[in-house]
Structure 1
Amino acid sequence: MTTPVVGVLALQGDVREHLIALASADALARPVRRPEELAEVDGLVIPGGESTTISKLAALFGLLEPLRARVRAGMPVYGTCAGMIMLADKILDPRSEQETVGGIDMIVRRNAFGRQNESFEAAVDIAGIEGAPVEGVFIRAPWVESVGASAEVLAEHEGHIVAVRQGNALATSFHPELTGDHRMHELFVGMVRENAAAGSL
């Protein structure tokens, strides 16, 4: 197939790092700020940042409903840190007026691993990724309290779920884009390719 076009929701957070990682994983990476840009991508990354701010900006830019529609329709989507919160069907402790895109049957706890000054790195074994563990950067990271029957747990750290997949939706508590290891992005770009190939059959 042709090179997949993968967007990065560019409202807030570490957009540039994701664009670089996606390009390294052989995707055509583009920032997405408007509904018409969302319509042109084969998959989307929702980056880390501040989930309440991302939620409000997505609503302000008219992206929330188009995002929900594309995710429901099966567009591959990958959320990291705040992006994981955005993909949760339920947040345990939401801020007022905080909305999510949904797409993964999981309950997420915001800032579960602590405040900014409690950030850390840890090696994480991810199901489906061969070789050495992935180096995870945890910054005010959430964890998953529980998942439904349709969601698959890909990784845990210290007994807490930190990576989940449900169909074409992928989420991690940590920031893989902040390391030189792009295997998580390669996994996601592979999901985008598979989805595009299935759609062309």
Structure 2
Amino acid sequence: MNRHQLLVKIQGIEILPGSRIYDEIHVLKANNEQLVMEMNEKYHKPEEIRRYLQEITGRSIDDSVTVSQPFYTDFGKHISFGKDIFINQNVTFVDLGGIVIEDHVLIGPMCRIISVNHLVDPKKRRGLSVASVKIEENAWLGANVTILPGVTVGKNSIVAADSTVTKDVPENVIVVGSPAKVIKEI
């Protein structure tokens, strides 16, 4: 099964331990972790980082994308990068549910973009649900921001440092807090 087929198949379903898809996800995750550790084990030039990211994501990475080390992703295959992106150090993508980073996005240090959640039912708690995340063109995530599953951050918007985004952010606004709320239009 290719990455697109897997992403489509898992949207909106409960992924339970012991299921074939749960086991397949964890095999792919283990393979990705090896590449991520190799990428982060020592300094690499920007073009070397992009080569690692191409292998991790299975997609072409534009020369205008800059990703500082260390960079972490648990699954890797469900990330899409646009052009002219800057990602600062110690950023984590939990991308099984899909993460799209559009053109001209800035992501501050220690940000976390999460597209996976555990199930609420205590009897199924080890199971997973996924919802894609999209960071639209020219958005800026300040330092230590957390974006939760299913969220879209709108074009040109700013998420202030230390904010937790639990719902969609409109275009052209600044949001602050936990949960993040609009404080200003720009």
TM-score, structure 2 as length reference: 0.26
Larger Cα-atom Rg: 2
TM-score, structure 1 as length reference: 0.25
Decide which structure has greater helix share: 1
Question: Which has the higher relative contact order, 1 or 2, with Cα contacts under 8 A spaced 6 or more apart?
Answer: 1
